Amino acid sequence: MRLDRFIARQTEQSQQTARLLITTGRVQVDDQVVRDAQQAVDRFATVRLDDRLLQQHTPLHFMLHKPHGYLSATCDPLHPTVMELLAEPLRQQLHLAGRLDRSTTGLLILTNDGLWSRRLTEPGQRIPKVYLVGTAEPIAAHAAECFAQGIHLAREGVDTSPAQLQLLGPCQARLTIHEGRHHQVKRMFHAVGNRVTSLHRESMGIIELDPTLHPGQYRALTPREIACVPVAGSRLV
């Protein structure tokens, strides 16, 4: 909705009065003075008129243990989606901060905070994402070196940034990547002549999948987990 209409409705004033309130700097959206009466405002914005709170956005952040077979999507005619695992009011409010393939299990983050989720998932932030990987063939000796140097992704025309591979067994490894490109882990293993048979995300930055969560369960993030997403200009370690 346009800001002038929103203010008019909330204050029961005319749109002309609302525009005057806006252009004279009395309206704040998300703690910033906004003088553009045409600016769009959605239900996720916190809006103030002087000191009066007209609408409050309560940020919500959750981690979900994604089970195998669920799509990272809001709805799908064929497959169950992760949204169906959430309580009804949350389904309408949350979006996914990064996706996992249908067959992938593990850590999935959901939030209603668009800025926060963008920062968590932007490749430029280089947030480490750790995966347990099972493969069809024994992992080649040169794979760790190839991943450390970067794998060329032809579709995007980019090289993956250096990734760390820790061998856990002939067909099992822990891989840390710093972007989240489409099917990235599967494509990296394909590039070294192998095939991923199981994939489980253990962590994103300092946010680790809570071991007490069974597949399909979720919990709110702690303030420390929320705060680990970098503010503009800084990096998450």
- Asked if residue 183 binds ligand URA (CB under 6 A), the reply is yes
Q: Are β-strands 105-111 and 196-204 bridged in parallel, bridged antiparallel, or unpaired?
A: parallel
Alpha carbon distance 110, 83 (integer Å): 9
Cα angle for residues 118, 119, 121 (degrees, 5° grid): 65
- Asked if residue 101 binds ligand URA (CB under 6 A), the reply is yes
Out of 104, 111, 121, 194, point to the residue binding ligand URA (CB under 6 A). Answer: 104
Cβ partners under 8 Å of residue 88, min gap 6: none
The stretch near ligand URA (CB under 6 A) out of 26-34, 73-81, 163-171, 178-186 is 178-186
- Asked if residue 186 binds ligand URA (CB under 6 A), the reply is yes
Which CB atom, from 27 or from 133, has the smaller least distance to ligand URA? Answer: 133
- Asked if residue 135 binds ligand URA (CB under 6 A), the reply is no
- Asked if residue 100 binds ligand URA (CB under 6 A), the reply is yes
- Asked if residue 108 binds ligand URA (CB under 6 A), the reply is no
- Asked if residue 178 binds ligand URA (CB under 6 A), the reply is no
Out of 7, 22, 71, 185, point to the residue binding ligand URA (CB under 6 A). Answer: 185
The stretch near ligand URA (CB under 6 A) out of 31-39, 59-67, 138-146, 181-189 is 181-189
Both structure tokens of 79: 């497959």
Task: Compute the least distance from the CB of residue 183 to ligand URA, in Å.
Answer: 4
User: What does the DSSP assignment read for the chain?
Assistant: -BHHHHHHHHHT--HHHHHHHHHTT-EEETTEE---TT-B--TT--EEETTEEEE-----EEEEEEPTT-BSSS--SSS-BGGGGS-HHHHHH-EESS---TT-EEEEEEES-HHHHHHHH-GGG---EEEEEEESSPPPTTHHHHHHH--EETTTTEEPPP-EEEEEETTEEEEEES---TTHHHHHHHHTT--EEEEEEEEETTEEPPTTPPTT-EEEPPHHHHHTSPPTT----
Which CB atom, from 7 or from 185, has the smaller least distance to ligand URA? Answer: 185
Q: Is 101 a catalytic residue?
A: yes
The stretch near ligand URA (CB under 6 A) out of 9-17, 79-87, 184-192, 212-220 is 184-192
Alpha carbon distance 173, 45 (integer Å): 43
Size of the site for ligand URA (CB under 6 A): 8
Catalytic-labelled residue, pool 4, 101, 113, 210:
101
Binding mask 191-220 for ligand URA (x = CB under 6 A): --------x---------------------
Task: Compute the least distance from the CB of residue 195 to ligand URA, in Å.
Answer: 11
Q: Which residues of this chain interact with ligand URA, rule CB under 6 A?
A: 100-101, 104, 183-186, 199
- Report the catalytic residues: 101
